[in-house]
Structure 1
């Protein structure tokens, strides 16, 4: 593999809504979103096809205190709409740096985003456009982690790359335990068995059963996404 040959041709990047907040308490931090799309552009410029699943936790979560006492399905639908808002913000930020992207929503809101159509999404990826998937799976009771696993499989992605605040999976919380060690690789069964909080169990099981690897890395570490795509020792890989 030459120095500039990416290890993966097509990736599914899972971004949490919280990643867009930066140091703010809620909402979208402009500098943070600009930095994130800059990292995405780096890998697109290498010829990597990028699909994105975005969460909505910076605006609304179905399981958050704000949703207390609310019908769970209603709260989840509100969370899905929050992800569409984030998808539009991402698309706008990408446009400013010359990245062409398309937003597809699992909920039908045609004035705002086109509906999710698998064949169309794959064609956009082949044309070098970034595809941003909003509204999760379109179903309540499923997380955007599960949406990432599902869309990753539907897009025939080589890997699901989950952006977090921590640069991988650790034996313990590295913030409270200085002796916590970062795993380079971990098996699906270990991640599920030890409840390593990589993704929820549904997403992990789906990826395990279909043999779709996951990589966990920190979106706040400069150039980390590119290093993951190049196959370097960055973050933690979850493998069968």
Structure 2
């Protein structure tokens, strides 16, 4: 009689699972790499320009929607995107709960970190500069922008950049690339957040073989950052 795995064993299996890489033709791999390089340059430049706007400036909204279009368009142009799955109770399932719970955990950790960071004036100042875009602008529109860009970033960085790297340490390299592109705005706190979030999402990409879990994690994390973090800094 086969013993049914415990919930604890199932969770460990999900966390430690490494999805089998999908083999792509040389033509697809080459196209991914060309598209990835071009889109990163354009996206980083557009991100830097959008964050140079003053909080509340209407152009910020259009620029960030344009940035989302660049990331998503680059992802679709690079090649096939996959949702991914996780093993659970003997079946392959979409990682909806996985991505959501990890997003809550990462978002909660950032809020706790914010409580500490607000006691360090230089760090608090960098964080406040980013949060002012949510505080001084239209909150509903900022929420939409956060969600749209979260999906687009994961489509590109975990859906296009990650597989374009092949066997060249995709978890580490895709995270570094994401952090560098995000740091183009000139705020070191964005780069720091990108390392943490990007690393978690890259590990999810490795575990599930697709972008669904990273997308959900990014969406939940983004909502927490927009709605819960500003009050921590008195905004």
Q: TM-score range by the shorter chain?
A: under 0.3
Q: TM-score, normalised by structure 1?
A: 0.25
Larger radius of gyration: 2
Higher helix proportion = 2
| Relative contact order, higher structure (CA 8 A, sep 6+) | 2
Q: TM-score, normalised by structure 2?
A: 0.25
Higher strand proportion = 1
